[in-house]
Amino acid sequence: MRRLSLIAGLAVLVLIWAGPLLSVLRESFAAHMLAHMGVVAIAAPLIAIGVSDRIAAVRPSSALIASLVELVVVWGWHMPAARLWATSFVFATIVEQAMFLAAGLFLWLTALATAGGSTAQSASGAFALLLTSIHMTLLGALLALASRPLYGFSEVTCFGLVLDAEQDQALGGVVMLMVGAAVYLAGGVFLLSRLLSGNGQQRGAG
């Protein structure tokens, strides 16, 4: 199961980085968000699950630190100046995608590693994923509901669909809400349910 998860995660990365999405994302913000969510919310957790048996227990604070790192990376790369840099130079695109993957793996690996630890560790892992879901929900909503486009003013083509800048940005925000926020919320709820189930079993055994 873990091996299949690892293979699937690597396959998603290949599909994103070697397929047409990487070239489209430099023009369309919605395509950029598809790639971003594919890296941090699909590939990263699959890879983390695939190698989770090799990860030693971490300190309770590690998952929370990883969540803060994810927040800084995600919000930082969605600043208009950073977005412009990433669309203007191939090197910047590579740095952006590498940082997304590193931050995503850091968070998912530390969160999953807490699942078999103490109550404090398990709680920190669940809270880290829930916190990430909250800040992704906030950013996605801000992008989707913004009164003006932040990343350009011309029309773009996203997989054959012609969008103006405001529509392109709104669609990107919706993708973040539907994929990123939902996946991190599901991960946090799953870890929280395991924690509560474990506590209930311990009380029942006592």
How many other C-beta atoms are found inside a 10 Å radius of the C-beta of residue 155?
11
pLDDT digits (tens, 9 = 90+) for 75-91: 999 999 999 998 888 89
pLDDT digits (tens, 9 = 90+) for 114-129: 776 667 777 888 999 9
Count of residues in the chain:
206
Pick from 53-57, 71-75, 111-115, 189-193: least confident: 53-57
**162, β-bridge pairs:** 157
Which residue is it, tokens 């509560």? 196
**157, β-bridge pairs:** 162
Pick from 41-55, 73-87, 98-112, 125-139: least confident: 41-55
Q: What is the pLDDT of residue 54?
A: 67
Q: Among 97, 100, 175, which residue's Cα sits nearest to residue 141? A: 175
Does 201 score more than 60 pLDDT?
Answer: no
Q: What's at 131, amino acid-wise?
A: L
State the average pLDDT over residues 90-94.
90
Does 170 score more than 90 pLDDT?
Answer: yes
Coil, helix or strand at residue 153: coil
Task: Enumerate the H helices of the chain as residue ranges.
Answer: 2-18, 21-25, 29-37, 44-51, 60-77, 80-88, 90-113, 119-145, 165-175, 182-205
